[in-house]
Amino acid sequence: MTGRIAAPGRWREGADRISWAREFMPATTTLGAELATSGRVRGIRIGVSDVLEPKTASVALLLAEAGAEVSVSCVGRDTDDAIAAALAHAGIPTYAHRGATEAEDRENVLSLLSHRPEVIVDDGAQTIRLAHTERPDLLPAMAGATEQTTSGVRPLRTMEREGALRIPVVAANDARTKSLFDNAHGTGQSVVLAVADLLDEPWGGIDVVVVGFGRVGSGVARHAAALGARVTVTEVDPVAALQAAYAGYSVEALARAATHADVLISTTGVAHTVTADDLSRLPDGAAVAVGGGAAQEISLQHAFRDGAEETSRSGAVSRLRLANGRTIRVLDDGHCLNVSAAEGNPIPVMDLSFGVQLSAVDHLLVERGRLAPGVHLLPSAADDRVAAIALRALGGGVDSISDAQRAHLSSWRPPAADRDPFPVTDP
């Protein structure tokens, strides 16, 4: 069983691109091979609900090659039809096609859930949440799920606090090998380059306002500055705001920063971060985009309610005339720009993220029946192993702790040579 495949004849193109991406994913392929050797996923039903492009498809195929019964879904705006065709041709039930409506997206996720997955590999937690609301009958038999985004982990932690989360979920996003690289380097770079590509204008000397200075926002700010932009950061967290100031950026309230923004990029993953009032303060011709992203992170619905009108559209760039008469450019309707209108993060960075996801799947199965419902961290040893594999592929290595260092770390006493830190000497 598979869903509607928009371009089945493009399967060979998709297969070639998946094969090419896989060559640059040493951590993911190594961990996939280990799953095959261990037999841990053999016969396990795994649903992969993620951006559908070559890197993600490699994960689905590796799980299938390791013996899992894999099914895949993706929202239409994040689907590459050639990749969907390649997965379907490989025999993986695939529910995704570019341009799907919201109703079709929902139906595609429900189709994935009809395979009764024992593990869900999720991006954004929509599939995990839909399983809880629409298919709660699946939950008792599940080993759990993994979630790889900040915006996805947040609602899962809320569900946990409210007692609504009924399965264990590994917060792959919170693994150091994921968040320190994917968020800051991968998303930071891919968002800025996607914005620059769509606008096709020089960045030297322009004012770029970055809303939020978490790991994604800090990466966006750094890459925007590297292109020559003057960067201003807005934040609600005083510590993060101070970090931005120490990194050399101007820090202002959004209401003020918006008045001089040539480009405004929201990176919080929180709906209604950029309000209709904020949009009304932008200079004429300013561009707005979302990096990382949550639905309505830029409150376009409210802007339209207040009288905004779309006056033209060219590809992923639409022009809105606001109620105050100013015109702004909205990139890809405020969706997660780097995946919905670009190629996503660089392959080596995503190799780390998907290595973490495979490690999380392995952890869920090893601990099946012993992990309580809730959000769990990936064990540090598994996190370190992903990093070590990737580092080895780069030709790097690390030191080991000596016995003397280990003894010092495990003792509250100073070393014998300086046992008394305040010696008394005769005058």
Question: Residue 300: which CATH number?
Answer: 3.40.50.720
Region of poorest pLDDT, from 7-11, 110-114, 408-412: 408-412
Whether residues 307 and 264 fall in one domain:
yes
Query: Is position 102 within any domain?
Result: yes
Query: Is position 142 within any domain?
Result: yes
Q: What's the CA gap between 296 and 335, in Å, rounded?
A: 8
- pLDDT band of residue 294 (cuts 50, 70, 90) is confident
Query: Is position 410 within any domain?
Result: no
pLDDT tops 70 at residue 296? yes
Whether residues 80 and 63 fall in one domain:
yes
Write out the two tokens for 404: 């003397």
Whether 311 and 287 have beta carbons less than 8 Å apart is answered as no
Residue 136's nearest CA partner among 112, 116, 106, 156 is 116
pLDDT tops 70 at residue 151? yes
Region of poorest pLDDT, from 15-24, 38-47, 129-138, 408-417: 408-417
pLDDT on residue 421: 62
How far are the Cα atoms of 319, 332, 420, 421 from residue 417, in angstroms, in the given order? 72, 65, 8, 10
Whether residues 303 and 381 fall in one domain:
no
Whether residues 27 and 110 fall in one domain:
yes
Whether 287 and 263 have beta carbons less than 8 Å apart is answered as yes
pLDDT on residue 310: 97
CA count, 13 A, side-chain hemisphere, 258: 20
User: How confident is the model over 262-277, as pLDDT tens digits?
Assistant: 999 999 989 999 999 9
- pLDDT band of residue 187 (cuts 50, 70, 90) is very high
Whether residues 308 and 369 fall in one domain:
no
Query: Is position 245 within any domain?
Result: yes
Quickly list DSSP for 83-151: HHHHHHHTT--EE--TT--HHHHHHHHHHHHTT--SEEEESSSHHHHHHHHH-GGGGGG--EEEE--HH
Q: Which residue has the tokens 């830190």?
A: 421
Whether 109 and 115 have beta carbons less than 8 Å apart is answered as no
Burial class, 272, CB count within 10 angstroms (exposed 0-12 / middle 13-18 / buried 19+): middle
Number of domains in the chain: 2
- pLDDT band of residue 371 (cuts 50, 70, 90) is very high
- State mean pLDDT over 51-79: 96
User: Would you tell me the crossing angle of helices 54-65 and 11-22 to the nearest 10 degrees?
Assistant: 80
User: How confident is the model over 395-406, as pLDDT tens digits?
Assistant: 999 999 999 999
Partners of 209 in the β-ladder? 232, 264
Region of poorest pLDDT, from 66-70, 193-197, 412-416: 412-416
Query: Is position 317 within any domain?
Result: yes
Q: Which residue has the tokens 């014998």?
A: 416
Query: Is position 399 within any domain?
Result: no
Whether residues 191 and 174 fall in one domain:
no
Whether 354 and 59 have beta carbons less than 8 Å apart is answered as yes
Whether residues 202 and 53 fall in one domain:
no
Q: Which residue has the tokens 């990029």?
A: 265
- pLDDT band of residue 212 (cuts 50, 70, 90) is very high
Whether residues 214 and 320 fall in one domain:
yes
pTM of the prediction? 0.89
Q: What's the CA gap between 287 and 379, in Å, rounded?
A: 41
Whether residues 354 and 278 fall in one domain:
no
Q: What's the CA gap between 63 and 41, in Å, rounded?
A: 7
pLDDT tops 90 at residue 354? yes
Whether residues 228 and 309 fall in one domain:
yes
Residue 274's nearest CA partner among 239, 251, 250, 303 is 303
- State mean pLDDT over 77-86: 96
Question: Residue 144: which CATH number?
Answer: 3.40.50.1480
Whether residues 283 and 384 fall in one domain:
no
Whether residues 153 and 252 fall in one domain:
no
pLDDT on residue 341: 83
Q: Where does a domain end: 279, 311, 340?
A: 340
pLDDT on residue 122: 97
Q: Which helix (H) or strand (E) holds 328?
A: strand 327-331
Query: Is position 420 within any domain?
Result: no
Residue 140 contacts by C-beta under 8 Å, 6 or more apart in sequence?
A: none
Backbone angles phi, psi at 309, to 5 degrees: -135, 140
Whether 84 and 96 have beta carbons less than 8 Å apart is answered as yes
Which residue range forms the structural domain that includes residue 66? 8-178+345-391
pLDDT tops 70 at residue 308? yes
Write out the two tokens for 360: 């999380």
pLDDT on residue 417: 62
| Residue % of the chain over a pLDDT of 70 | 97
Cα of first residue to Cα of last residue in the chain, in angstroms, is 90
Q: Where does a domain end: 325, 340, 355?
A: 340
